[in-house]
Amino acid sequence: MPHDHAHHHHHHADPSVGDWRLALAVGVNIGLTVVQVIGGVLSGSLALIADALHNLSDAMALIIAFVARRIARRPADADMTFGYGRAETVAALINYTTLILLGIYLAYEAVMRLFDPQEVAGWTVVIIAAVALVIDLATAALTYAMSKDSQNIRAAFLHNLADAAGSVGVIVAGTAILLFGWNIVDPIMTLIIAGYILWMSFAEIGGVIRILMLGSPPALQTRAVLNAIDEIDGVADVHHAHLWQMQEHEAALQAHIALHPGCWDRADAIKAQIKARLRQDYAISHVMLEMECAVHACSDAKAIGHG
């Protein structure tokens, strides 16, 4: 029975290595922000100072990701009985939301500049943008491997990627304007970058919201999971089922299992068989089952949800 388990497979690398990489990325981005502000003041470029503030937002995104990553490792307690893993999901939501707002703002500024073209500062802006691009790519390299397994780090990574795209845009537009006087290139490039930021943010934020809304894992079909339980000998019916993502890489299932008459003496064995099947075929390890004998089973119960 083939199933896509990609959302469950992830690496268990030493978390301290990832923390060190994130901390280094934060330090590098803050250093770049300082350089850009100084360059903006010396060259008289307000655009460069604005880009420095944008870069500071990248540093803040990395800080949010770093803090959430540390919180997520805290064990379950009386206040958070499921643990703190969703701190990373919340951090991802914050970072994607700020990316969307940034994309909308850039699009607005680009449209305004189409009607009121502005002069772009000299080569100083292009040179510092090139330096910024190198720093952005270095930061992206530090977080790329972790971004594949964590929506939290992925959000910070995409923040950085958007900034790298912005740096490329500044270099291309600035060079075109300085060489050919094509002022229209600047707002057009900004619109392209804004569109890219919005496209990738909306593509990713849905998965984050799905987890916070207790949605089922996108790679699993709820009906297929329930049918697999139904196929186990002794199971008469499955109802009141809830399948959801506790965290990005951890799925959970809760359900009532009605047994055929005469099978109650095998209830524990059937429960163990169901759990083994779910773990093996669907990578669902957090399973809560309420066993019901045929006589006392729920009547007219819905297969999914309560009611």
Q: Which CATH class is domain 222-292?
A: alpha beta
Are 250 and 279 within 8 A, CB to CB?
A: no
What pTM, to 2 d.p., does this model score? 0.80
The continuous run of DSSP H or E covering 142 comes out as helix 123-147
Higher pLDDT, 107 or 232: 232
CATH code matching the domain that covers 15-212, chosen among 3.40.190.10, 1.20.1510.10, 1.10.1370.10, 3.40.50.300: 1.20.1510.10
Sign of CA dihedral 186, 191, 194, 199: negative
* Res 289: pLDDT: 96
Q: Where are the domains of the chain?
A: 15-212, 222-292
The 10s digit of each residue's pLDDT in 80-136 is 998 999 999 999 999 899 889 988 988 888 888 788 766 655 576 788 788 888 888
Tokens representing 251 are 């799925």
3-state secondary structure (DSSP) of residue 99: helix
The one-character DSSP state at 245 is E
Query: Is the pLDDT confidence value at 76 over 70?
Result: yes
Higher pLDDT, 32 or 133: 133
Closest to 176 measured CA to CA, from 162, 164, 190: 190
The pLDDT confidence band at residue 236, using thresholds 50, 70 and 90, is very high
Opening angle at CA 29, ends 185 and 162, nearest 5? 40
Cα–Cα dist 117/110, whole Å: 9
* Res 122: pLDDT: 57
* Res 143: pLDDT: 85
Query: Is the pLDDT confidence value at 232 over 80?
Result: yes
Tell me the backbone φ, ψ of residue 83, rounded to 5 degrees. Answer: 90, -175
The pLDDT confidence band at residue 7, using thresholds 50, 70 and 90, is very low
